[in-house]
Chain A
């Protein structure tokens, strides 16, 4: 219990949903600032976790998604030491699920293996956006084919200021954080669950995936009272 593939971190104060800076007092302008940073597996181009895995259980798919073969993972946790983002979590005990029946369309993980965000590869294979993209109420996430110059994600990354987390580590993540005012992201598929799909997905298969944005500034919402 308590495994998180996607953590929404508060960039600001020391605690969740708190800003850094000072309140406006005595007529001075305040410096309060806060934003959110969804942090999951960054699907690095130069992924340290893939390089350290002794048994090839962690691998990079042809489309660029970094994935784990849960039938191969020996549970040595070297990849957890390697990941600078702490994106990986380990099944320290027999996993419990909510609901209890199982993990739905997501592959089950047994005790003793490492797991992490898969970019919803089971959905991407069906031509669907990852669940976090579909479910984001602010449309803050964009997912798409970064090899295609005309994809929404390519256009956003080309047009706006972007940064990659811990880019000084040289891991070259495929996840970009986009800064500045912009129109909401546009998921390129509908909201169907994968089991509701017709047999043939209509969208083109992604050759490469990328995209994930956090809107800073406009979405920042310093809290005054309840949190």
Chain B
């Protein structure tokens, strides 16, 4: 049956892949930033994403704000939460041992997930968008698309453009890049690396909060356990796309989204989670340092 797929079906499957890819891009970019600067893998990144989704959810319900604007509130709140997490938890263990850092993020998964469960129960929620009932018709390929899907793509592009400019064109961006290239040299050049840690952690979690909001607008995926798997996948994406590479995270995220939707289409829904790790293991067997290697050990 999959062989008889028509063009519009194919286009649609590609679109689903790209839309999931947008979420992965946002998630992977944040994770990548944190890894680049601090050399820490934050497995709890997905929990910050879901937390961000909840913030937008409650803001859009209680303040009646358009969910796309509540992203800004969410970015602010989760950014601060991220900075606090860095100060209280990660800074204490930074440099002690890699294992401690990984297990710390595991502990944070438990704390955040279950705290969210206790506060808001396991019920799946979805942020209702004001454009819920609007669809756009594309004549050429004969498909209908929900307006929100287009907005989500647009928002992702905007956020990523802003992020790119911040990293490449501003002074603080240069400091971040310097710190991720060589921490001690950056310190010698008068950069406050601890401040960079805080800033990049906050920025990374803020990107995750954006991803969480967009995810919750598209899918009823707002429940405490929903973040664990996307975060792991985001990490496989940055491993594949090159640790520390911004473009790598973007390309990797989109490519991964596509791989996932084609895996569902060709192999079936069971393989959705497995496919990422199968690719990862294959790559790591061939190149133990990741597809693009590490700039610095």
Is the pairing of A and B real?
A: no
Interface residues of B (CB under 8 A from A): none
